[in-house]
Amino acid sequence: MSEKLWGGRFSKTTDEMINEFQASIGFDRRMYREDIAGSLAHAAMLAKAGILSKEDCAAIEKGLRDILAQIEHGEFLFNVELEDIHMNIEKRLTDAIGDAGSRLHTARSRNDQVALDTHMFVRHSVVEVLGSIRELQQAFVETASANKDVIMPGYTHLQRAQPILFAHHLMAYFCMLTRDFERFQGVYARTDIMPLGAGALAGTTLPIDRVFVAKKLNFERIYTNSMDAVSDRDYILEFLSAASILMVHLSRLSEEIILWCSREFSFVELDDAHCTGSSMMPQKKNPDVSELVRGKTGRVVGHLMAMLTAVKGLPLAYNKDLQEDKEGLFDAIDTVKFSLAVYAQLIRGMKVRADVMRHAVEADFSNATDLADYLVRKGMPFRQAHSVSGQAVALCIERGIWLADLPLGDYQKLSALFDEDVYEAIRPETCVSCRNSYGGTSYEQTTMQLNAAQELMTEEQDLISALTKKQEVL
């Protein structure tokens, strides 16, 4: 049985079951790079402050880098009795270099150490998520640009409403992702705060230099209150909140993709590589990716609720409950990144059925609003025009025809304002092109949206590149 690094006060060893129950090494081992980077910065600071000799600092640095190599080569044996990634690394370091290793934890607690590791891990993960969001945005822009002239029905209440451009519909999701990108930028800003130096909760009596450590690890700010530093999990809650909203957006997209690729719609056909079949029914082509993303959304939202519930009743400062912050966080990170990546592939790979969408627009009354607007432009009040248009629809339903098929004479019985130009006014292309108000579905506005999207993605890439560079701390 391994000797506990905190066992001086205890007369009994910890029960084996308790060891397993309280251990976090099974999941927090993935923070090894952050833990080593933080320890290297801490050691350098202790040496600068004269708390640690240059010789001990050099031994610690070499020992930590050796451990880093061992972990990355799969040669490091993690021990559950040592509870977490911090104690596993410290014990291995002390075994390797002796007393110098035992001096590393001077002026530091696991409370501020784990807070540091988690801040760095979330910060890094946010940058990865930002990159994945941008990649999906790019997929939407590419697919929208390739189908700029495709007209489809727009829906309200899942009922055909007005003709829109398919590209316009896709760019709505681009806009959602833009807000997601901005939310994660906010998460980064409130994660980019350095907690190390807070100690267990009250700071330290030793002359440490927190600014030095913050600069070494590329943190913009430092916690100004030691109790807040070790107990704050707002940034994790905020990550999970942003992740939940993002997944809800992907879930809404999933619902539409599932509908669109059904035989009832047939608006798109998914690539075979992104679907599965049935073990019983040979004809099936199932949209598994979209269904799984829709399902995984509940999981991510669940992680947010679990974390909110865990934190809501905690007194200051650190409590063991906070160990529960990582499993859900790690799973949410993995789920979000994977979902974004697979959707970028799916959007790029799907075949757009322009002919089916066009037929859905023509075999319907989604141009009825345009019929009313035609009369408004002729001088009729909108409410009256709305009624006349509704009467025209009712007449067509009675006869089993569409507005484009209704003879001019019948139109003129409803209103003398109708003329031959009514048929041009209710063509799908006209319906779309005339909706040229800012942000509308017209060809001009959609092109403007696509151009603006390209400019925005250039700015996003510049930000991602800058933040990626900031993560280089090892």
Q: What is the DSSP string of 391-431?
A: HHHHHHHHHT--GGGS-HHHHHHH-TT--TTHHHHTSHHHH
pLDDT over 60 at 10, yes or no:
no
Indicate if 157 belongs to the active site. yes
Tokens of 31: 């923070």
Q: Which helix (H) or strand (E) holds 45?
A: helix 32-48
- Asked if residues 375 and 417 have their Cβ atoms less than 8 Å apart, the reply is yes
pLDDT band at 45 (very low <50, low <70, confident <90, very high): very high
Hey, where are the domains in the chain? 7-106, 111-153+162-205+218-352, 360-433
List pLDDT tens digits, range 248-273: 999 999 999 999 999 999 999 998 88
SS3 164: strand
Identified catalytic residue from 11, 73, 157, 437: 157
For residue 276, list its beta bridge partners.
286
pLDDT over 80 at 13, yes or no:
no
Calculate what percentage of the chain has a pLDDT beyond 70. 95
**Mean per-residue pLDDT for 3-7?**
55
- Residue 459: Cβ-neighbour burial (10 angstroms; 0-12, 13-18, 19+): exposed
> Where do we find the tokens 């006209």?
430
Identified catalytic residue from 262, 278, 359, 465: 278
Separation of alpha carbons 147 and 70, rounded Å = 51
Nearest in space to 436 (alpha carbons), one of 213, 165, 236, 195: 165
- Asked if residues 126 and 239 have their Cβ atoms less than 8 Å apart, the reply is yes
Indicate if 278 belongs to the active site. yes
| Kind of pairing between the strands at 159-165 and 151-156 | antiparallel
The CATH class for the domain spanning 111-153+162-205+218-352 reads mainly alpha
List pLDDT tens digits, range 387-423: 999 999 999 999 999 999 999 999 999 999 999 999 9
Cβ contacts of 261-266, under 8 Å, gap ≥ 24: 261/285, 261/287, 261/350, 265/356, 265/360, 266/353, 266/356
pLDDT band at 12 (very low <50, low <70, confident <90, very high): low
CA separation (Å) from 418 to 220, 289, 376, 377? 66, 49, 11, 11
Say what the pTM is.
0.93
CA-angle at 195, arms to 111 and 58, nearest 5°: 85
Q: Do 111-153+162-205+218-352 and 7-106 fall under one CATH topology?
A: no
pLDDT over 80 at 29, yes or no:
yes
The CATH class for the domain spanning 7-106 reads mainly alpha
Is 2.60.120.10 the CATH number for 360-433?
Answer: no
